[in-house]
Structure 1
C-alpha cells in the first residue's frame, strides 16, 4: 500500500445505485478514495439515525486521505426518506440497514468499478465496517453481534465473511436498562456481544448520556467489555454522543463541537485498522504511547 499522507488529494463519486431487491427506496452509496495508490483497504460506513451518504465528511475525508476507500450507503431512516417512528416500515429498518451493508459488500466490485475504476486499486482481502450510533449497531451485526429477543434468545447471525475488522463509535449497550420509549420503539437494541469475535475498536465518550438507557456513559463500553478478544477501547473523557461532531461541522445535534476530538476519532480508527490489517503498526503504537503519557483526556485499553 502506498502513501497515507493526510494532505493527499481525494475524490468522491455519488450517487451509485446498488441492487437491493425488495427495498422500498433505491439503495444509493457514495465512494470516497485517494486519487493515488494501489491495494487500498476498504471501510464500509453506516451512518447514525437520520443521516445519509452526505454526512460524516470529517471522518470520511481523513480516512480517504490516509489511504482507505470509503463506501457510505444511505439507509432508510435517512431524513430524506421521511420514515418516522410511526411509519409501519420503521420496525424493520434495523434489518434493512444490515441488508444494506450486505448488499454493499456483495456488490463491492461493481460499486468500485462505477466509482472511476477503483476495482483495480482495491485490496479485497482487507475490508472493515465502521458505524456511529445506530450505524455502530448495524456494523456490529456484520462483526457477529446477534440481537436477543424478549426471552433472551439470540437471533440471526448477520456476520459477513468478507469483513475482517471494524470500529464501533458510540454503540448501543446491552438492552436490560432501556427506557420505556426505547423498549417500545427500538426493541432491537438488545445486542449480544458474546458472539462478536471479529477484531474491533470501540469508541466511547465519557460524557455520553443516552436518553435510551437508564445507565450512564459506561453503557457505551459494553461492546468492549462483553465481547471476546481481540478488542480495543478508546474512551474520550469529555466526549458526548457525537464525539466533537463526527457527523459534520455545525451539525444541529453536536453539543460538544471539537474538531480536534473528531480528528482523534478518525485517526484512531485508521491507525487501528492499519494495524489489524497488518499494513503497519506505527500509528497505532504511537497513539497508545500518547494515551499512556497524556493528560487523561483520552485512554486506550486492549484485550
Structure 2
C-alpha cells in the first residue's frame, strides 16, 4: 500500500536522466516527478503527444505525483526540440523509435529510479502503468498489445511489454480506414489494430474532438475501446477537444477548449483508474465514477 505523503503533498522533479538505448539519433532523456515523501509508490511512464517533450503535461503530472505516483516522462525523437519534421528522412521510422523508447524506460527503470535520488527505495516497480496522449496513446497501445496494420491490412510485429500492468489511452488514434490524404502520406502508421490489446486499460476521449487526420468525427477516438478486448473502461469527456481543456500545459497554443476543471477530471480519472487497476484501492474507480455521474460531468462504459 502507498504511504500517504503529507497534505498538501509536496513533489520533487529530477531531470534530465539519460536512459541507455541502442542506435538512436540523440540520447533518450526523461524527467522524473514524484511525491517528496511516501513509500511503495506506483509508477506511471507517460508518452507525450507529437512535438512535445518531458517538460510538458505538468497539469497532469503534478496532480498524479501529488496523488502518490512516480511519473517518468521520456522526450521522444519527434519533440520539436529535435527539429525532425515531416520532410526529414528519419521521420518515417519515428513511430518505431517511440516504441523503443518506452521499452528502454521499462527495461532500465531501476537505473532511472536510482539516478533520481531515493526513488529506487520508495517506488514499487511491480506496479507500473503506461499512459499516453494522442500519438503517445497509440505508442502506449502497442506496448499493451495493439499492432499496426500495413498498407495491405496485415497486422505487424507484437511490441507488447509485460512490465506494464495497466494503461491509459487519452485521445488515441482510431482505425486507419478514414485517414485524410495528409495522414496517409505522412503518418501511415496511424492504422492500429486494437483487437490484440489485451492489457487492462482506460480509454479517455472528448466528445468534441474532431481530428484533422480522419474524415470521421469524434467517434474515431472511441475505437481503442470499441475494438479492443476486455477488460476496458471508457470515459467520454463532454465538451472535450483534443487537448481536453489543456492537459499539455496552461494556455498552450494547441488548446482550443481551455478548461481547468476538464483537465482535473482527466487527471483524477487516471489516478482513480490506476489505483484500482494496480490493486492499490479497488474501490477508487467506482467512487470516482459515482461522484462524476452525480454531477453529470462525463459518461462511462465498461467491458469486463
Q: TM-score range by the shorter chain?
A: over 0.9
Shift of 1:300: 1.3
Name the CA distance, whole Å, in 1 between partners of 2:5 and 2:32.
18
Structure 2 SS opposite 1:167 = strand
- Residue ranges of structure 1 left out of the alignment (5+ in a row): none
Give runs of aligned pairs for residues 1-303 of structure 1, distance below 5 A.
1-3=2-4, 7-295=8-296, 297-303=297-303
Runs of 4+ in 1 over 3 A off after TM superposition: none
Partner Cα distance (2:173, 2:224) in 1: 8
With normalisation by structure 1, the TM-score equals 0.98
Whole-angstrom distance in 2 between the partners of 1:290 and 1:63: 19
Normalised to the residue count of structure 2, the TM-score between the two structures is 0.97
CA contact (8 A) 2:5 2:36 kept: no
Classify 1:129/1:190 alpha carbon distance in 2 versus 1 (closer, same or farther; 3 Å). same
Deviates more, 1:276-285 or 1:250-259: 276-285
Q: How far apart in 2 are the matches of 1:160 and 1:7? A: 35
Q: CA RMSD in A?
A: 1.0
Q: Is the 8 A contact 1:6 1:62 kept in 2?
A: no
Aligned residues: 302
Aligned-pair CA distance for 1:5: 6.8
Deviation, structure 1 residue 115:
0.3
* Structure 1 residues 6 and 26: alpha-carbon distance in aligned structure 2, compared to 1, 3 A threshold: farther
> Following TM superposition, by how much is the alpha carbon of 1:6 offset from its aligned partner in structure 2, in angstroms?
6.7
Task: Output the CA distance in 2 between the equivalents of 1:41 and 1:47.
Answer: 19
